[in-house]
Amino acid sequence: MAEILYTKWCRQLTMRPTSVNAGGDKALIKEQSITLDGSINGSGNIDFSWLPSPSLNDFHLLDPVVTPVVSTDYVLTASSGTECGTSSDTALVKV
């Protein structure tokens, strides 16, 4: 019975998937900082984070400040917390 309810729950969530947008690609001069423009559309408890985290001021913000030393792809990943899947998007910051 529990397995059937879990499967039904996942189907309901996948009918309304979380939409993730890491924002547009950006360019900056070396040793400067820039703000990423992430957004997430969805309902319920949504967990999200950015990777790679070493050059981010806070990987749990939708709009973190980044200071990359080299051109870097930043990936915003979100999940509903129900193990029904994740969504992600990438923004490139060119140095």
Q: Contact, 38 vs 54, CB < 8 A? A: no
Mean pLDDT of the chain: 81
Model pLDDT for residues 59-86, shown as the tens digit of each residue: 999 999 999 999 999 999 988 766 667 8
Q: Distance (Å, rounded) from C-alpha 50 to C-alpha 64?
A: 9
Q: Distance (Å, rounded) from C-alpha 90 to C-alpha 20?
A: 9
Q: Contact, 88 vs 64, CB < 8 A? A: no
Which residue is it, tokens 């509903």? 80
Q: Distance (Å, rounded) from C-alpha 63 to C-alpha 56?
A: 10
Asked if residue 14 has pLDDT above 60, the reply is no
Determine the average pLDDT of the residues in 8-34.
75
Asked if residue 33 has pLDDT above 90, the reply is yes
